[in-house]
Structure formats: C-alpha cells, structure tokens
Amino acid sequence: MNVDFAAGDCGTGPFTWGQEAIWQTIERTWPDDHYFNFGQVLKLPRARHIREVAAAVGALVERHGSLRTLVAERPGTTRALGQHLEARGRLPVEVVGAAPRDVLDKLAATRFDYERDWPLRVALVTEGDLVTHVVLVFCHLAADGFGAEIAVRDLRMLLVRGRVPGPRPPQPLELARWQAGPEGRRVAATAAAHWEREHRRVPATMFAASSQDAARPPIWRALLASPALDLAVRAVAWRHRVSTSTVLLAATAQLAARYGGHRTSAVLPIAANRFRKDTRGIVSTLSQEGLFTLDVDRPFPDLLRPAEAAAVRAYRSAYHDPADRRRVVAAESERRGEPVHPGCCFNDMRLADPGPADCPPERLDAALEQTTLTWPLSQDRLNCRFCVHVSAEGVSLTADTRYLSRASMEGYLRDLEGLLVETARR
C-alpha cells in the first residue's frame, strides 16, 4: 500500500554538517553502504487497524522534514549536492505477516537510492486485519540512532494521542542555515582549531602495518558479550570518578596504540551532537566524529582523568564543518608527505548508561565465565580500519583484516576485557 503525505514546507539547501559527514562516509563505503541502514520495531500497545497506523505514519513524515528529504543537486551550482525537502509525496508501506525482526532485516538489506527513494522504509506487521508492530528502517542520511528514537517516540504519540504535544521540532534545512550563519561559523572555527592543533601530534594512522593474514572478505566484526566487562567498566568509573564512556574510550585508545605500536593514541569518537537546545529534538543525522588524542604510555588508571578532559574536547570538536576538517587533513598530509587519518573510531551507542557502581572481585570472577565471542558480520568494504562499537549487545570490533588479523581482533577484545577487569579488581 502507499501512504500519501502533504506538509506545508519544502525547499533546497546545503547539507547540514551531519548530513555532509555521513554522505562522505556513504560514498567511501559504496556499494556496501547498506551497512549504514538501521531500523527499529515499534510494538503497538494494542493492535490497531491498518488505516489508523497508516495515517500516523503519514503524520510522522509530515512532522519531520528529514523523512521526506532527498539528496539533490543544488540549483545554481555544478555538482554540489545538498538536501531537497519535498512537501508532498507517496510513501510505499508493506503490509506483512512475519516476524518483525525478519522484516526489519529484509528492509535494511538493500541500499537506498539517495536521490529517488524516500529515506524511510515502513512495514506494518499484521495478525489478521490488525497491526501489531510497525517496522521502520532509516537511511542514515535521514536519522542517526537518537533521531530514530525521536521518530519512534513521536509515532507512538501519534498513535496513542493523535498528535505530538509541544512545539514544532527543528528541521534540517533550518539547521543548515544556522550552521552557515555567524554563530555557526564561530562554533565551526573553535572546532577547526582543535582539529588543526591535535593533528600536529597524531600518528599518520593507527594501524599502518600489514597483518600478513588477511581474511576473505577482508572486513570482519567480532562481538564480545561480557557481563564482566560491563561490571568492570562501571566499577572503574566509580573508583576514578569518571564516566563509563570515558573508561571505555580510554581503554580502547590505550590498547589500539599498543596493537598499532604508538605512544600517542588518536581515536575518532562518534558524538551524538545533541548538546545544544536547537539540536536536541531534531530527527536528522547529527552524529559526527570528533578527534580524541592522548599520550597513553603510562598505567591505565593514570590515564583516566586526562582522558576525561580529552574526551570532552573531542566531543566538542565533533560538531564541526566537514569542509574545515577536509582542509586541515589535507594541509597536515601535505606537510608530512603522507596521508593522515587515524583509521580508528569509537562509537558508544548505548542509549542508556547504567552509570558508575562498585563491584566486588568475586562477582567479576563469576561473570567472567559468561563471556562469549562471535563473528556476526563480514563484508568487502568499510571506510575505516578499526571501529569499536559499544551497545547493549556488548563491545564489537569491526576491522580490516589486512591490518589486524582475525586472531589479533579476538586478542584485542580479550585484552580489553582483561585490562578493565584487572583495573576494577585492584
């Protein structure tokens, strides 16, 4: 079936910084860019008629411009891409009777045609005549994880109350205008100064040497599900009065430097960039990479306080204009006569942080027995050599085995667990 939508706003403009950043990443990953598709399943509090749910989906798309925005050439420019917001359109919606998770995987399995496909795929999962679940799959240009959360929350409100209370949410075209204006440029200049300063001292890349043991396909993901690591992170954060995210980032950075053979670590943490009032409620992709640098040649506990401050600076630098970053990277690469890019990123995707908490050693020991390591993904291309993701499922490492073999990937995750558990035990 199709859902028609008709909103009051339309227009064309430059990408926001977040859209520009994910667009560059998508282009570098093509044709494996379906990697960035992701979705959510909304279980309805009670089953509803198809037409009711379809109307709510239409209202959701009308409310959030991002969900009816396509990539387009900007008028008056040659080959400069930007965002084009359509007021009206027709969104295809599948009606299926299958397991919601399978439906999500199927909808997410193919890449979006960014200039033609609406950036939202929807399926209504039915039992008999009634809808029990709504499956939403997002193109990463339309939303990041936090943006998708807002969309799902609003869809639930539209179904339950028929409207979403509160003011109209901010829209990507407005954000792009703010970013290009004087206040946006001031923020961009501060961030650019950080990128420039820190680039002077980072290794050209964190994993430069060949692993001599490339797998086929070359990109693999190892997932460590470790209740012991989770407990240890909270305990270390509690003991050293830093955030759990800082503990994970500092450990990731120190071990990456050890495996790559460096004293200074450079990691690109992905920040939600939803710190400002004008960005908190927006459905869009705001998350971008910041630059985290730290001299890691010292015991791990001594790293934590400096890592906390370095993390704040890195997360601040994530709200930047990708054009500034390109300029900084090109200048530094030219100065050194070799390409400079850490090739090492960190994404703390946990929507809820359990927070610091002490843990007795015997509980850590008991939890260690539950650790599992699996290999859930492999593919041909990725825009990075080394990506650590933290989620409710565990800590995963997605790496290019031409630089870090599968055995080393597993060793890295086991060492990460060991470092954190040992530190928590002391």
Partner 1 sequence: MIRQRLAALVEESSDGEVTAREAMASGLPLSALGLTSIARMRLIDAVEAEFGVEVDLSEEGLAVLDDLDLLAARLSDR
What residues line the site for partner 1 (CB under 8 A)? 190, 241, 243, 245-246, 272, 274-277, 305-306, 308-309, 311-313, 315-316, 353, 355
Nearer to partner 1, 246 or 423 (CB): 246
Q: Which is nearer to partner 1, 33 or 308 (CB)?
A: 308
| Minimum separation from the CB atom of position 307 to partner 1 (A) | 10
Residue 134 · residue 41 · CB < 8 Å: yes
- Give the β-pairing of 120-127 and 69-73: unpaired
In order, the DSSP letters of 116-177 are TS-SEEEEEEEETTEEEEEEEEE-TTT--HHHHHHHHHHHHHHHHTSS--SSPPP-HHHHHH
Interatomic CA distance for residues 122 and 138, integer angstroms: 9
Q: Is 237 exposed, middle or buried (0-12, 13-18, 19+ CB in 10 A)?
A: buried
Looking at the Cβ atoms of 274 and 402, the one nearer to partner 1 is: 274
Query: Residue 223 in 3-state DSSP?
Result: strand
Phi, psi of 142 (to 5 degrees): -90, -30
Q: Tell me how far, at minimum, the Cβ of 83 lies from partner 1, in Å.
A: 24
Distances (CA, A) of 156 to 54, 127, 162, 184, 420: 12, 19, 9, 33, 39
**In the complex with partner 1, which residue's Cβ is closer, 239 or 305?**
305
For the bound state, the minimum distance from the C-beta of residue 274 to partner 1, rounded and expressed in Å, comes to: 8
**Distance (Å, rounded) from C-alpha 405 to C-alpha 219?**
10
Q: Which is nearer to partner 1, 36 or 292 (CB)?
A: 292
Shortest separation between residue 384's beta carbon and partner 1, angstroms: 24
Least gap, CB of 183 to partner 1 (angstroms)? 9
- C-beta separation of 403 from 339 below 8 A: no
In the bound state with partner 1, the residue whose beta carbon lies nearer, of 81 and 248, is 248
Find the farthest-apart pair of alpha carbons in the chain and give their distance in angstroms, rounded: 67
Contact assessment for residue 238 and residue 356, using Cβ atoms and an 8 Å cutoff: yes
Cβ atoms of residues 389 and 396 within 8 Å = yes
Nearer to partner 1, 109 or 309 (CB): 309
Angle (nearest 5°) at CA 349 between 372 and 200: 105
The smaller minimum CB distance to partner 1, of residues 290 and 322, is found at 290
**C-beta of 255: minimal distance to partner 1 in Å?**
21
- Residues facing residue 71 across a β-bridge: 83
Closer to partner 1 by CB, 93 or 272: give it. Answer: 272
Shortest distance in whole angstroms from residue 309 CB to partner 1: 4
Nearest distance from C-beta of residue 315 to partner 1, angstroms: 6
- Hey, what are 373's tokens? 């390591």
In whole angstroms, the minimum distance from the beta carbon of 246 to partner 1 comes to 7
Question: Rounded to an integer, what distance in angstroms lies between the CA atom of residue 177 and that of residue 173?
Answer: 6
Choose between 218 and 306: whose C-beta lies nearer to partner 1: 306
Backbone angles phi, psi at 246, to 5 degrees: -65, -40
**From the CB of 243, what's the least distance to partner 1, in Å?**
4
**From CA 304, how far away is CA 183, in angstroms rounded?**
33
Residue entry with tokens 């401050």: 309
Q: How far is the CB of 244 from partner 1 (least distance, A)?
A: 9
The residue (of 224 and 272) whose beta carbon lies closer to partner 1 is 272
